[in-house]
Amino acid sequence: MGSTSSTVYFLTLFEVLSSKSVTTSWQTGLPCMKKLGLSHRPTFRKNYLQPALEAGLIERTLPDKPNSSLQQYRLRQRH
């Protein structure tokens, strides 16, 4: 996957996570997937979550348990 594709995927995920109702709260993967129109979790993880996590743009509630059913995500808080 090229960097252009990664950028497009992240910008789309950013729009979902930065929507007015979401900015201060954590989101599980499923609502994010639904808002993106996705149903295949591996594609969501590979194309959206992993690149954003690796770039340090989003964060997990449970960083040591990436596969937890309780896992949630939000835009990384910059200070």
pTM: 0.73
- Kindly report the CA angle at 6 between 14 and 32, in degrees rounded to 5? 35
Domain that holds residue 15: 3-75
The total number of residues shown for the chain amounts to 79
Say if residue 4's pLDDT is above 80. Answer: no
Q: How many domains does the chain have?
A: 1
Dmax (CA) of the chain = 34
Check: CB of residue 73 under 8 Å from CB of residue 60.
yes
Tokens of 48: 């959206």
> What single letter denotes the amino acid at residue 58?
I
Q: Quote the CA–CA distance of 8 and 77 in Å, as a whole number.
A: 21
Instruction: Give residue-wise pLDDT tens across range 35-58.
Output: 888 899 898 889 888 988 998 888
